[in-house]
Structure 1
Amino acid sequence: MRLMRYLEHSELGRGLWTFRREFLWVGLFSLVANLLMLTPTLYMLQVFDRVMLSQSEVTLITLTLVMVLFTVVMAIAELVRSRLLVRAGVRFDEALNARVFDASFSAHLAQDGASATRAFSDLTNLRQFLTGNGVFTFFDLPWMPIYLAVLFLMHPLLGWAGIGFTLLLIALAIGSHWLTATLHERSSDSELQANSYLGSKLRHAEAVESMGMLPNLRRRWIGLVATQFHRREQSHEQQHRMQALGKFLQYSQQSLILALGAWLAVRGEISLGAMIASNALMANALRPISSLVGTWKQFIEARQAYKRLDKVIGSSRSLP
């Protein structure tokens, strides 16, 4: 409800809200895809715990055919939800292009060259995020507790280990936001300032050359670009550090969960199939958070683009 009220008070938000049906369908196909992602786990359990003991080739063939069928359905669900978002992105562009053009023109008339220049690139960034892989993370996150619950059914220690790694990755995602959001915003502001400065001077290129101002303007622009590159480098370095830490947690988690499963199997508390399946299940459980850490930069860019675009559209008037 809070999200609905927020969108209703924003012209851009109301434009996004018109695509709620497409997002509902994406959520439905995400449900199908995430349920079918349990197929490899169940397949491993059946192969190791039933086929290996019974030595039945018929059972193996039947299980394999069912697994392939479910995997094909899962791939189709992934494809359909991707196509839904791409089509929604095209319609989003078509619905807002004219309004963004009017807003950009009004900003230019109001001598706000920075907003006028940035409006269409902000629209492109927002559309690319809404149609990219990053948005799927938010549809997959609600399924993480389901995977953790299945781990608890296998063995409580596996479930608690899953919760521990989940909390570590959540802390990493929050830390990534705190450490990179401000740096990335400053980098974007510096880039916009440098581009706006260059654009305003190029519009008066003849006057600049005739008055002998070119060397001073060049030094000023080089200084702005140097500041932009320095801030961008800081932002990228911090992001790469967080991604490296995320990969360390991801890869170490796989080995540690396998070791824990092997220890439980040696003690006779779980089967060999559960040991193998728990590793794949843990990877599925942590995949959305790992994706969130990897796509956090795109999320920040999209959020900043939304705020700037909403401000430009809200402060402008519709042109005839």
Structure 2
Amino acid sequence: MSKGEKWLRSVKDSVRPLFVELVVYSFFVNILALVIPLFVLQVYNRVVAFGNISTLQGLVAGVFVALIFDFSLRQIRSRLLQKAAMRIDIGVGETLMKKFWSLPLKVLESRPSVYWQSLFRDVDTVRNTIAGAPFLLLIDLPFAAVFIVLIFLIAEPIAWVFVSIVPVFVLLAVVSGKLVGQASQEEKESQRSRDSLVGDMINSRSTVKALSLDVGISPHWENVHSNNIESALRRGMKHDGFVNAGTVFTLATTVIITSFGALAIIDQKLSIGALIAANMLSNRVIGPFSQLVGAWKSFSAYRQSKDRLDEVMNIPTERLTETIQLENPAGDIKLENISFRYFDDGEHVLENLSAHFTPNAVHMIMGPNGGGKSTLIKLLKGLYVSDKGRILIDDADITQFTRKQLSRWIGYVPQETVLIDGTIKDNISGKRDYITDEEIVRVCEKVGIHKVITDFQDGYATNVGEAGRMMSGGVRQRIAIARALIGTPSILIFDEPSASLDRFAEIQLKGLLHSLSSNCSVIVVSHSPVLLGVTTHLYLLDKKRMIISGPRDDVLKQLDNRSKDENPIEKTASPSTNKVKV
């Protein structure tokens, strides 16, 4: 059994006792379904034929008792089904969430966000199929054999009609499943394209409005939306066609039964009561098979959803188990001939790159756009794994550590600051209970944002809004910096930390980096002249390699000796002033 199948098996095992109860209650519900047809048969054959009123009274009393039991059993069955659905929803949802966060970042970035969103909708499909109407339908189908046997007992001359019509419905269900399944898959793909475009439009709404880009986007949206509508119509026409065919066959079955039953009555081979009872039982026989034609869409969607979830569950995860508990490292980082590419057949983004970041220093990485700076930062953070070479923390290979360990040791401020809808406090603490209010205030004071936060009407309880859009860029940036300082990280990595800061805040950041470097190894990706003033070591990354690295003043002197055409940094002042233009 593959990993992709084990996750579902474990979820099913958790609800197996409920499923057993459901089958038991469904058995009695289906047995009680015989009550009404048998009641009608007895009324016509015994009450109407012989005028036996006392028999009618007994039959009516017995039927009402049976109906009360039927209602109670159906209620219990519904509650059991809801309980099973809740367990499946929780089990599958939690399994998918844990799997999602255990996947390597390279895998998460290789697929669009709408793909991952659709997986969580697949959870709903799995739940609704395993613990919904389709499951009850599968339970009821075997009882059709019981009803056919009963029809043979009370109306043998027309029982052959049922035996011959059932294969027609089965064939109709199988064909509809194949054709509607293909159409549903096409509709799903078109929905992903539409949802992806909608997400892009929403995320860039301010830019679109500011530049009136809707003029160009609207035709594209109309094309994508029309493709989605067309695929939905194709699926709907196929599905409705098979459902309508099933309805017509059901009506035709009633006509055929009644016709042959009438001939049997004329030949005195069948009573009127038996014909009426057989017609009522026909709904219990043909009904589930007719529903199967329409429900095959659900089974097809379930199979597709399960296949997608299986695929994700089979993807190897990053390291999850800590082999040994270690103290915080000193923060000495070495890169030994590392190479990295995003795709197996793609070009290397970094190639044979080596560097050394010493503790208690501020290291600045500089270079042109697209030079691999952000990729290098993610490698240092352990978010990516190099294809070649090693990254060492205190002479220990970084790949042996889990993401939780690296997160404790390495604070990280990404280039694109995104906050999660919630309070400022929750965004800084990450809703981790062990982080105290005192620690949150301490890091905010250190970053210089505590006064800004307390000036808000709700203080630390202020909601940052969707993706932090209620906050200014500078406030978001400083909240992200405060978040990175939580705990006692030995290494702090900043990717363009001053991009959204004003001059005053940038000077404050300069002082912060200087104070942090007394206890940490600080690595900064930046071209800021202000931050260069606090830098102790400088690294120039270009064309996949580390071109120059070393103490800041030595590197600046080397750059001074190079022609402006050969290096991407144009020096406009003497090294002693530490003012450069990038």
Normalising by structure 2, report the TM-score.
Answer: 0.51
1:287 corresponds to which residue? 287
2:114 corresponds to which letter in structure 1?
A
Tell whether 2:89 aligns with 1:93: yes
Shift of 1:232: 0.6
2:548 corresponds to which residue? none
Greater displacement, 206-215 / 70-79: 206-215
CA distance in 1 between counterparts of 2:230 and 2:268 reads 57
2:118 corresponds to which letter in structure 1?
R
- Which protein is bigger by CA-based radius of gyration? 2
1:240 corresponds to which letter in structure 2?
D
1:219 corresponds to which residue? 219
Greater displacement, 81-90 / 218-227: 218-227
Structure 2 residues without counterparts, runs of 5 or longer? 321-402, 405-582
Shift of 1:260: 1.6
Shift of 1:65: 1.0
Tell whether 2:34 aligns with 1:38: yes
2:228 corresponds to which letter in structure 1?
Q
Shift of 1:214: 5.0
CA distance in 1 between counterparts of 2:141 and 2:3 reads 22
Provide Cα deviations, 1:68-110, integer angstroms capped at 9, x if missing partner: 2122212222221111010111122222333322334456932
Tell whether 2:134 aligns with 1:134: yes
Task: Considering fraction of residues, name the structure with more strand.
Answer: 2
1:153 corresponds to which residue? 153
Aligned residues: 316
Shift of 1:200: 4.2
CA distance in 1 between counterparts of 2:276 and 2:209 reads 72
Q: Secondary structure at the match of 2:269?
A: coil
1:114 corresponds to which letter in structure 2?
V
Where relative contact order (Cα < 8 A, 6+ residues apart) is larger, the structure is: 1
Contact 2:3 2:314 in 1 (8 A): no
Contact 1:104 1:119 in 2 (8 A): no
RMSD: 2.5
What aligned pairs does 1:24-173 form with structure 2 within 5 A after superposition? Answer: 24-105=20-101, 109=105, 110-111=108-109, 112=111, 113-173=113-173
1:52 corresponds to which letter in structure 2?
V
Contact 2:155 2:274 in 1 (8 A): no
Q: Secondary structure at the match of 2:141?
A: helix
Task: Considering fraction of residues, name the structure with more helix.
Answer: 1
CA distance in 1 between counterparts of 2:132 and 2:29 reads 17
1:191 corresponds to which residue? 191
Shift of 1:207: 6.2
Tell whether 2:176 aligns with 1:180: no
Provide Cα deviations, 1:28-68, integer angstroms capped at 9, x if missing partner: 11111111111112111211111123312111010111112
CA distance in 1 between counterparts of 2:68 and 2:299 reads 30
CA distance in 2 between counterparts of 1:83 and 1:63 reads 30
Shift of 1:157: 3.4
1:145 corresponds to which letter in structure 2?
A
2:397 corresponds to which residue? none
Q: Structure 1's 152 and 33: CA in aligned 2 closer, same or farther, altered over 3 A?
A: same
CA distance in 2 between counterparts of 1:268 and 1:134 reads 41
CA distance in 2 between counterparts of 1:223 and 1:123 reads 29
Contact 1:10 1:310 in 2 (8 A): no
Q: What is the percentage of aligned positions where both structures have the same residue?
A: 22
Structure 1 residues without counterparts, runs of 5 or longer? none
Shift of 1:187: 0.5
CA distance in 1 between counterparts of 2:149 and 2:243 reads 27
Normalising by structure 1, report the TM-score.
Answer: 0.89
